[in-house]
């Protein structure tokens, strides 16, 4: 038995889906502990591309059990859409291979409306959310007025009563700001219909995971988003609303820290970000190059991702707060053409050297990234299978990451397919 957490070391989209898919082979149960359908995890399996939003990537492997944990915020209608979309591709999600924590909070239509409205009010100061209602749902959870899955499937009468009352409050607010009112009856009908389909998936996942561990089964935690979108450690307020760092995998699943054997950090060989907020190493020339190649578009919203050079300040701090045991470096092949590769080793702020990121987003906007130019390898790495066969300059690049982050590189991605990953 060995339990592993996979965590993004940057602003999300590091390639966690692919790494989780790879590690699933030697795992019994794959758990999504936090986030919602703001996530988009791409997995290419047998040449077919899948984008998973709420369902753990482990679902693509036959015989594996998937769990949506208590820390997830789940949009019932979106989840059913995802289940149906997978069925069309021949992947059958059933109560036998997936369960959802009865404690998971529900994303409601009014959460999505609030998300969009709040963003519109912020104008230029917007966060650039995915508009999936994530922030307002976690807000209600912390405010202790949320709806959980057990409310919907266990007590529909009380659920409907509370729902109507909440929508009535929302409508008063929406009307006062000129927004359209919501139809409580239609929403209630849709949710109760969804409840019928979701009821067989609703389970005490904490009890299930602990029983599984007693039987010697191994767990793989599929983190969503990344360290700099973490509500505490990220570039606040330009973050998501959950703990995306490794601790979030424990609170979001009910599995305690001493049961965790390994934390794998995933980082691209460069950096990307979708949405607003500081990004010291952003480089528009690099972004143009990737976009022209049809790469680096958001898997959930289709937005162009902002791109930049590798920022070791970010990965260094991510290794600390997550306790990375090892690193998976993805899309090394993305740098195959570069003659020289700048890497940011530290920042300067008002004449001071910073090895760790500042707390304030305003300071984060002002830091000056200090680069070291490393020589590129200018050769195609996409067919390389063994670490030792990587070009010497590529190995030197990876060694530099190891030195600056004090963390060993254990996997290297050289292409989007499952088999384009070098295991060291
Ligand atoms: P996630 O949210 O962390 O799972 O990452 P996304 O799926 O949103 O974005 C990662 C993108 O990079 C996807 O399009 C993947 O197919 C792709 N990808 C992952 N690893 C590699 C790699 O090593 N090389 C290349 N070229 N693409 C990769
Ligand atoms: P995966 O799991 C990249 C970003 C949004 C926005 C901020 C807040 O695929 O890595 P939210 O809708 O969560 O309130 O938006 O967080 N964001 C992501 N960026 N990958 C993700 O997930 C993201 N999930 C949220 O773009 O900047
Ligand atoms: Mg993604």
Q: Encode 248-278 in three state secondary structure.
A: HHHHCCCCCHHHCCEEEEEEECCEEECCCCC
Query: What pLDDT digit, counting tens, does each position of 79-109 carry?
Result: 999 999 999 999 999 999 999 999 999 999 9
How many Å apart are CA 262 and CA 28, to the nearest integer? 15
State which of 138, 229, 279 you would mutate to test the pocket of ligand 2, scoring each by most atoms of that ligand within 8 A of its C-beta: 229
Q: Is 16 in the pocket of ligand 1 (CB under 6 A)?
A: yes
Confidence band for 300, pLDDT divided at 50, 70 and 90? confident
| pLDDT one-digit tens code per residue, 96-152 | 999 999 999 999 999 999 999 999 999 999 999 999 999 999 999 999 999 999 999
Average pLDDT of the chain to the nearest whole number: 97
Q: Which atom of ligand 1 is nearest to the CA of 298?
A: 8
- pTM to 2 decimals? 0.98
C-alpha of residue 389 to centroid of ligand 3, in Å: 29
Residue 285's CB is within 10 A of a number of other CB atoms, namely: 7
Residue 83, SS3 per DSSP: helix
Per-residue model confidence as pLDDT tens digits over 154-193: 999 999 999 999 999 999 999 999 999 999 999 999 999 9
- How many Å lie between the centroid of ligand 3 and the Cα of residue 105? 21
Q: What are phi and psi of 57, to 5 degrees?
A: -60, -20
Task: State the Cα–Cα distance between residues 227 and 244, nearest whole angstrom.
Answer: 6
329 phi and psi, to 5 degrees?
-100, 120
- Rounded Cα distance, 313 and 357, in Å: 6
Mean pLDDT of all residues in 285-291 = 95
> Catalytic pick from 21, 41, 105, 115?
41
Give the ligand whose atoms come closest to the C-alpha of residue 269: 1
Q: Which residue has the tokens 């306790």?
A: 323
- Ligand 1 site, residue 71, Cβ cutoff 6 A: no
Q: Which atom of ligand 1 is nearest to the CA of 300?
A: 8
Length of the chain: 424
43-to-15, 19, 100, 135 alpha-carbon distances in Å: 9, 9, 21, 26
User: Is domain 106-198 given the CATH code 1.10.300.10 in the classification?
Assistant: yes
Determine the average pLDDT of the residues in 282-298.
94
From ligand 3's centre to the CA of 226, what distance in Å?
A: 9
CB within 6 Å of ligand 2 — which residues? 8, 11-13, 38-41, 127-130, 132, 134-135, 224-226, 229, 240-241, 274-275, 299
Distance CA 253, CA 209 (A): 8
* Topology of the domain comprising 267-423: Adenylosuccinate Synthetase; Chain A, domain 3 (3.90.170)
Q: Which of 271, 355, 348 is nearest to 309 (CA)?
A: 271
Distance between CA atoms of 209 and 29, rounded to whole angstroms? 9
Q: What average pLDDT does this structure show over 66-87?
A: 98
pLDDT > 70 fraction of the chain, expressed in percent and rounded:
100
pLDDT attached to residue 299: 87
Q: Tell me the H-state helices in 217-299.
A: 246-251, 284-292
Q: How far is CA 161 from the centre of its chain?
A: 34
Task: Determine which residue's CA is closest to atom 27 belonging to ligand 1.
Answer: 416
Domain residue ranges of the chain, discontinuous segments joined by +: 4-100+202-263, 106-198, 267-423
Q: Give yes or no: 41 in active site.
A: yes
Terminal-residue alpha carbon distance, the chain: 21
DSSP 365: H
Is CATH 2.70.70.10 what the domain over 4-100+202-263 is classified as, yes or no?
no
Average pLDDT over residues 301-306: 93
Tokens of 39: 């996530």
- Ligand 1 center to 141 CA (angstroms): 31
Q: 414 alpha carbon to ligand 1 midpoint, in Å?
A: 10
Ligand 1 site-directed mutation target among 307, 416, 422, most atoms within 8 Å of CB: 416
What is the number of the ligand 1 atom nearest to the C-alpha of 334?
26
The pLDDT of residue 135 is 98
Q: Which ligand is nearest to the CA of 130?
A: 2
């Amino acid at each position: 038995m060995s339990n592993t957490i996979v965590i993004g070391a940057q602003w999300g989209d590091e390639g966690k889906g692919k790494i989780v898919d790879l590690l699933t082979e030697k795992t019994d149960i794959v758990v999504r502990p936090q986030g919602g359908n703001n996530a988009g995890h791409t997995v290419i399996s047998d040449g077919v591309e899948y984008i998973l939003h709420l369902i753990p990537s482990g679902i693509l492997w036959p015989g594996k059990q998937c769990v949506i944990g208590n820390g997830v915020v789940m949009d019932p209608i979106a989840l059913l859409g995802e289940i149906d979309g997978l069925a069309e591709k021949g992947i059958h999600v059933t109560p036998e291979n997936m369960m959802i924590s009865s404690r998971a909070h529900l994303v409601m239509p009014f959460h999505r409306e609030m998300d969009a409205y709040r963003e519109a009010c912020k104008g230029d100061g917007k966060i650039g959310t995915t508009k999936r209602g994530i922030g307002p749902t976690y807000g209600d959870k912390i405010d202790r007025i949320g709806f959980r899955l057990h409310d919907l499937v266990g007590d529909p009468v009380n659920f409907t009563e509370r729902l109507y009352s909440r929508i009535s409050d929302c409508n008063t607010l929406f009307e006062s700001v000129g927004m359209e009112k919501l139809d409580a009856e239609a929403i209630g009908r849709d949710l109760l219909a969804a409840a019928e389909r979701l009821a067989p998936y609703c389970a005490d996942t904490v009890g299930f995971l602990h029983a599984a561990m007693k039987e010697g089964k191994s767990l793989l935690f599929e983190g969503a988003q990344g360290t700099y979108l973490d509500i505490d450690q990220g570039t606040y307020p330009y973050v998501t609303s959950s703990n995306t760092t490794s601790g979030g995998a424990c609170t979001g699943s009910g599995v305690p820290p001493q049961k965790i054997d390994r934390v794998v950090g995933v980082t691209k060989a460069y950096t990307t970000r979708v949405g607003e907020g500081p990004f010291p190493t952003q480089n528009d020339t690099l972004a143009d190059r990737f976009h022209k190649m049809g790469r680096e578009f958001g898997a959930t919203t289709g937005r162009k991702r902002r791109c930049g050079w590798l920022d070791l300040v970010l990965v260094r701090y991510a290794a600390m707060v997550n306790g990375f045991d090892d690193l998976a470096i993805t899309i090394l092949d993305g740098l195959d053409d570069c003659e020289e590769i700048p890497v940011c080793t530290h920042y300067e702020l008002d004449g001071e050297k910073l090895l760790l990121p500042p707390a304030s987003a305003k300071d984060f906007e002002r830091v000056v990234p200090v680069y070291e130019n490393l020589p590129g390898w200018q050769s195609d790495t996409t067919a390389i299978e063994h670490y030792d066969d990587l070009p010497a300059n590529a190995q030197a690049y990876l060694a530099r990451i190891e030195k600056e982050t004090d963390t060993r590189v254990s996997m290297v991605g050289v292409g989007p397919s499952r088999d384009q990953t070098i295991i060291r």
